[in-house]
């Protein structure tokens, strides 16, 4: 997804639903020196931000990171399946 400064509730509902209905591998390399060693520790706080601050531009970077994580999980075939 292209970086945005704010997001809609519908966009956040769709994104959060994807993370809560899929299983994925624990580790992820996002490139550019960004490596996540435990998705289960990283994603829940970002989901909390997405649920509560989606319309606040101060938090758009954290929400955009969720989109990057989702895209990288799909691109690297690290989605195991649905829960």
Whether 81 has a pLDDT exceeding 90, the answer reads no
Determine the pLDDT at residue 4: 86
CA 25/CA 48 separation, integer angstroms: 21
Confidence (pTM):
0.92
Determine the pLDDT at residue 83: 74
**Do 53 and 7 contact (CB within 8 A), yes or no?**
no
The domain limits of the chain are 9-78
What SS3 state is found at 40?
helix
Q: What is the dihedral of CA 21, 27, 28, 33, to 10 degrees?
A: 150
Strands 28-31 and 22-24: unpaired
């Amino acid at each position: 997804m292209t970086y945005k400064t704010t997001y809609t509730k519908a966009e956040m509902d769709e994104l959060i639903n994807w993370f809560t209905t899929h299983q994925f591998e624990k580790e992820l390399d996002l490139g550019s020196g960004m490596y996540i060693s435990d998705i289960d520790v990283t994603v829940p706080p970002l989901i909390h931000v997405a649920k509560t601050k989606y319309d606040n531009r101060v938090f758009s970077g954290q929400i955009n990171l969720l989109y990057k994580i989702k895209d990288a999980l799909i691109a690297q075939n690290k989605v195991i399946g649905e829960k």
